Structure 1
Amino acid sequence: MKHCFIMLDYPALAAVSAVVREGSFERAADALGITPSAVSQRVRGLEERLGTVLVVRAQPCEPTETGRALCAHFDQVRLLEADLAPHLTPQLRKGEAPLTLKVAVNSDSLTTWFPDAAALFVESSGTLLDLIVDDEAHTADRLRSGEVAAVITSDPEPIQGCSTIELGALRYRACASPDFFARHFAGGVDSRSLAAAPTLRYDRRDAVQARWAAEFHAVKLSAPTHWVPSTQGFLDFTARGIGWGMHPEPLALPHIASGRLKELPPGEALEVSLYWTVTRLQAGALRALTDAVRKASGAVLQKPRHQRSASL
């Protein structure tokens, strides 16, 4: 069988990547320092050469399946090229854009321990981060599609070409304001009170409240719901007595200690195991970020229950 190898036009591929990343030809032109017509010519020329559409012209522009694959390839090439930088002369490195690493992370990690990992990584590497926030149960899909190079995920399933490292468990506490608790749970936390008391959810894919109710109270949660797509907003809404919700333990404990929040029943902490899944590309930036993630998560996340049980 004969294989046909196509030499890619990397300036054109950079244009495709910029259009997809920025969402429009105009913003891609600003990012690349060229005119929108030049961006359009490069994208159209590569599409004609490959015989397929790479970018869907919409608001915002979206990649086709082939376009997404080529953007992922371009990002990987950029990661590998970054390791060559110390060996290049200043003339060859002149005008080179800073390396940016794309990572998908869940909101609660982003608000608790991940900033420490980012600080360690940026300080040691000088690399920029492009973070995509998504539910921890769905971030792995971003890696499977090639959109990002690494993810924080609750999905332990292996992904082809990637390594998965178990980081630990992020604990969540069910909390309400003291006034809300007095209004809705004075008679106890049971199926009746949980069905009537308004709850908070981050978005339609947020199942943490439902998991807690099922695991600790054998209740299928169907309470009135406020939708609050912000970890800090979640905390503020709870403290103002708008609803009850599940909060990451590192954020909740100081407020519980001060009396600003009250646990529904104390001691019923729900654990969400988190994993670091990263492409096996042998790039220095990925190794540095992995080291930073392991160090920062180890200082905050708990050892999962199955590990604690095995050590007894």
Structure 2
Amino acid sequence: MRIPAEAAETLAAIIDEGTLDAAARRLRITPSAVSQRIKALEQALGRVVLVRSKPARATEAGAAVVRLARQLALLEHDALADLGAGEDDGAPVSIPLAVNADSLGTWFLAPLARLADRHAVVFDLHRDDQDFTAGLLESGTVMGAVTSRAEPVAGCRSVPLGTMRYTAVATPAFAARWLPDGPTVTALATAPVVYFDRRDDLQAQWLARRGVEGAAPPRHYVPASHDFATAVKLGLGWGLLPGFQSDEELADGRLIRLGGPPVDVPLHWQQWNLRSPLLDAVADEIVAEGRAVLTRA
């Protein structure tokens, strides 16, 4: 049994673009040809590889094929570089990566910009909570991920980056209104709090340490890192912010600490355990940046 590289590339294009029609435009073939390639692949494997939903998604068998397609594209890029073809002679290779919102909004883009200056590469970033980005590695959706998971995903290697430290903060006006006697249990149960989304549990962790039920206070949901920080700085509610987004305001008094221990989130870089000069360069830049700017345990 063999998996044709053309069929694997086609399945990966469908997953990236979301539909067969969009994949056909990217591959410059007809939608009928795309469908025929997938049908032939499924017949050859004896398994369904694609769920034709909106957006389309790979089955477990399809995820393995997508992973193969991404590995082949990366190895082809490296081989051409070794042959002296030059990175500028062909289309940039696409590197899909997963990253949590706060890393993306603070330190993660700088190393990618340096990489793009030196290599013919484009990045396809998938944003998810750090507790869930490892799942995108397991499915083959991405080649590397910033994750809170230390144990390597199967077929991957894991390197510690450092710790993202979060401190509970609020504006002085918010504290005067909602926490006039300080962050007491009673006051925290009624003071509005800002959450990133419904999977965000950082504020609940901090509240639990203060003896407050996490579901008690009213919540604002602001699902973007910069906008989340802005909401806290505008006094919409209190929240946990990393130093990247709060040190300046704490220094000049625009924000105040609410006390209690910080919430530390250890971060790791995981990527496919595939020897590739380009993927190794990506890892080197991201790990170096993370270790330079994140808190060391």
CA contact (8 A) 1:83 1:283 kept: yes
* Counterpart among 40, 54, 58 of residue 53 in structure 2: 58
Aligned to 1:191: 185
CA distance in 2, matches of 1:268, 1:119: 34
Structure 1 segments of 4+ aligned residues over 6 angstroms from their partners: 92-95
Matched, 1:75 2:74: no
Instruction: Please report how far the alpha carbon of residue 114 of structure 1 lies from its aligned counterpart in structure 2 after TM superposition.
Output: 0.6
Instruction: Please report how far the alpha carbon of residue 270 of structure 1 lies from its aligned counterpart in structure 2 after TM superposition.
Output: 2.2
Q: 1:134-179: per-residue Cα shift (whole Å, max 9, x none)?
A: 1011111111222211111111123222211111111112111221
CA pair 121-170 structure 1, distance change in 2 beyond 3 A: same
> Counterpart of 1:66 in structure 2: which amino acid?
A
CA distance in 2, matches of 1:297, 1:94: 29
Aligned to 2:283: 290
Aligned to 1:42: 37
* Counterpart among 125, 145, 160 of residue 154 in structure 2: 160
Matched, 1:85 2:80: yes
Residues matched between the structures, number = 296
Instruction: Please report how far the alpha carbon of residue 96 of structure 1 lies from its aligned counterpart in structure 2 after TM superposition.
Output: 4.8
Unaligned runs of 5+ in 1: 1-5, 305-312
CA distance in 1, matches of 2:189, 2:222: 19
Matched, 1:170 2:154: no
Normalising by structure 1, we get a TM-score of 0.89
Instruction: Please report how far the alpha carbon of residue 220 of structure 1 lies from its aligned counterpart in structure 2 after TM superposition.
Output: 3.1
Look up the SS of the partner of 1:137 in the other structure. coil
> Counterpart of 1:37 in structure 2: which amino acid?
S
* Counterpart among 3, 25, 33 of residue 20 in structure 2: 25
Matched, 1:112 2:89: no
* Counterpart among 136, 140, 158 of residue 146 in structure 1: 140
Instruction: Please report how far the alpha carbon of residue 57 of structure 1 lies from its aligned counterpart in structure 2 after TM superposition.
Output: 1.5
Unaligned runs of 5+ in 2: none
CA contact (8 A) 1:125 1:288 kept: no
Aligned to 2:175: 181
Look up the SS of the partner of 1:146 in the other structure. coil
Look up the SS of the partner of 1:100 in the other structure. strand
Aligned to 1:237: 231
Farther off after superposition, 66-75 or 45-54: 45-54
* Counterpart among 271, 279, 287 of residue 272 in structure 2: 279
Identity %, equivalent residues? 38
CA distance in 2, matches of 1:64, 1:52: 9
Aligned to 1:11: 6
Look up the SS of the partner of 1:226 in the other structure. strand
CA distance in 2, matches of 1:209, 1:228: 13
CA distance in 1, matches of 2:206, 2:90: 49
Instruction: Please report how far the alpha carbon of residue 93 of structure 1 lies from its aligned counterpart in structure 2 after TM superposition.
Output: 9.2
Q: 1:202-251: per-residue Cα shift (whole Å, max 9, x none)?
A: 11111111122234x24332211111101111112112221111111111
CA distance in 2, matches of 1:94, 1:107: 32
CA distance in 1, matches of 2:23, 2:203: 41
Aligned to 1:136: 130
> Counterpart of 2:290 in structure 1: which amino acid?
S
Look up the SS of the partner of 1:183 in the other structure. helix
CA distance in 1, matches of 2:16, 2:234: 38
Look up the SS of the partner of 2:189 in the other structure. helix
Normalising by structure 2, we get a TM-score of 0.93
CA pair 115-94 structure 1, distance change in 2 beyond 3 A: closer
Instruction: Please report how far the alpha carbon of residue 89 of structure 1 lies from its aligned counterpart in structure 2 after TM superposition.
Output: 7.3
Aligned to 1:307: none
